[in-house]
Amino acid sequence: MTKKKKKTEEPKVHEELKGFKMEVNSFGEISSTLSIDKINEFLNKNVEDKKLKDREDLNSEE
């Protein structure tokens, strides 16, 4: 039997994250094409934190 070829198709990502790739090497270390700070900044802007949504001290800023 022949092995299946891996698909090299690029995944669909948000425009701000174009070129973002993550890989795990043989030692289990995670490497990324974007810095952690840039990833966190993107997540803070675009993802609601479910643990913090009901806190009154954070809602008073709005």
DSSP, collapsed to helix, strand or coil, labels residue 31 as strand
Residue 38 CA, chain-centre distance (Å), reads: 10
Instruction: Report the sign of the C-alpha dihedral through residues 44, 48, 52, 54, in that order.
Output: positive
Instruction: Tell me the backbone φ, ψ of residue 48, rounded to 5 degrees.
Output: -80, 135
Q: What is the pLDDT of residue 37?
A: 93
Per-residue pLDDT for the chain (62 aa), expressed as one digit of tens each? Answer: 677 777 777 778 888 888 888 899 999 999 999 899 999 999 889 888 888 777 777 665 54
pTM value > 0.85: no
